[in-house]
């Protein structure tokens, strides 16, 4: 890393080349593990970044060494100016990807293709229509499945995010893996994480080890193959021998991957969160609107990143509601 982009390096030598930008707080689903039952108080529109502001702030990061940008939310495809944002961001030269619930993919397929947004993370927690309605409180299962196949037929690289919740979808682990037999999908099982108002409880979480044991029981040792994990991985990856696709486990709770973390988050109201679990935010939007240069603020936010899960180093800490509930809801962070 050169002097120029040293502002993206923290005190533990981690280099942050991956920026996740939340485009908005609104969503067209109401996933119960993500959004509190009573909803959230939305930030007034004038306090959210405009398309121009998103691009200008992203440009500061790209100039300093960010080369990957992921757009998330809320639901990023709900933004009316999504095509404009993609078009302008694509000129910065960083690789752009999105995390979406898939409902509006068909509406934006041409834009995604035109601007080379080929990596899509699609969130889908169940393969059963009635359970989809139970967890999302919306009846959109068929739409999501149709759009998944639309993406596959158009050769997008797709990762499916599955938040596992005991008693809800842990009995679908094998069904999800079987999808990878003939489809080039990467399934990522995510340990359920605690955020404000999402009624997290450790007993509802399916851990990395439980998932591996469950898969081994079904497929046997010889069929399960450990793959080499990506650089700066979040998922520990596996495949079933002979299957086209793969699967991985994102174990932020039982087996965090903070040592290789290269991610910074920008909320829809223009604040840096240097860790998903951190409740400390650095406002970039207000200074930007006041003509202040952002580099020092970015450097400050990154330097202050703590070693593991925003200071919740141990399991005792992460399961403590006094600590884990003192954060925004996931819907307002952008996962
Ligand atoms: N609306 C988009 C979507 O559905 O993918 C993007 C935003 S959503 C907050 C991003 C990701 O965060 C989704 O894959 C979702 O499953 C994940 N997520 C939300 N709440 C979570 C929680 N409590 N634990 C683990 N993952 C969570």
| pLDDT tens-digit series, residues 163-206 | 999 999 999 999 999 999 999 999 999 999 998 888 899 999 99
User: Which atom from ligand 1 is nearest to the alpha carbon of 195?
Assistant: 23
| pLDDT tens-digit series, residues 209-229 | 999 999 999 997 789 999 999
Give residue 221's pLDDT: 74
Residue 9 has pLDDT above 90, yes or no: yes
Nearest CA to ligand 1 atom 23: 193
How confident is the model over 16-32, as a mean pLDDT?
97
Give residue 237's pLDDT: 96
User: Which atom from ligand 1 is nearest to the alpha carbon of 193?
Assistant: 24
Give residue 5's pLDDT: 63
Residue 141 has pLDDT above 60, yes or no: yes
Give residue 207's pLDDT: 96
- Are 5 and 64 in contact by the 8 Å Cβ rule? The answer is yes
User: Which atom from ligand 1 is nearest to the alpha carbon of 33?
Assistant: 23
Nearest CA to ligand 1 atom 12: 335
Nearest of 151, 167, 170 to residue 159 by alpha carbon = 151
Give residue 4's pLDDT: 56
Percent of the chain at pLDDT exceeding 90: 81
């Amino acid at each position: 890393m050169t002097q120029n982009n040293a502002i993206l390096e923290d005190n533990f030598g981690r280099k942050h080349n991956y920026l996740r930008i939340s485009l908005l707080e609104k969503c067209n689903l109401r996933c119960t593990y993500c959004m509190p039952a009573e909803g959230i108080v939305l930030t007034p529109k004038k306090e959210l970044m405009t398309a121009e502001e998103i691009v200008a702030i992203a440009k500061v990061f790209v100039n300093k060494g960010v080369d990957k940008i992921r757009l998330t939310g809320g639901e990023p495809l709900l933004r009316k100016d999504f095509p404009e944002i993609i078009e302008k961001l694509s000129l910065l030269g960083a690789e752009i990807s999105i995390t979406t619930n898939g409902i509006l993919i068909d509406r934006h397929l041409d834009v995604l293709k035109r601007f080379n947004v080929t990596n899509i993370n699609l969130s889908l927690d169940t393969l059963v229509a009635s359970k989809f309605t139970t967890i999302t409180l919306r009846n959109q299962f068929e739409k999501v499945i149709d759009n998944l196949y639309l993406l596959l037929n158009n050769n997008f690289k797709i990762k499916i995010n599955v938040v596992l919740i005991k008693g809800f979808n842990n009995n679908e682990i094998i069904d999800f893996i079987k999808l990878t037999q003939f489809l080039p999908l990467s399934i990522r099982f995510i340990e359920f994480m605690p955020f404000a108002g999402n009624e997290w409880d450790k007993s509802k979480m399916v851990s990395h080890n439980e998932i591996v044991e469950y898969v081994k029981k079904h497929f046997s040792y010889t069929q399960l193959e450990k793959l080499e994990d990506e650089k700066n991985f979040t998922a520990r990856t596996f495949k079933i021998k002979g299957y086209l696709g793969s699967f991985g486990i994102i174990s932020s709770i039982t087996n965090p991957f903070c040592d290789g973390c290269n991610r910074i988050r920008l909320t829809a109201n223009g604040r840096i969160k240097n860790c998903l679990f951190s409740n400390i935010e650095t406002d970039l939007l207000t200074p930007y609107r006041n003509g202040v240069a952002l580099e020092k603020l970015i450097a400050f936010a990154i330097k202050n990143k703590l070693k593991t899960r925003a200071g919740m180093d141990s399991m005792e800490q992460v399961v403590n509601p006094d600590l884990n509930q003192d954060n925004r809801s996931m819907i307002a962070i952008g996962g």
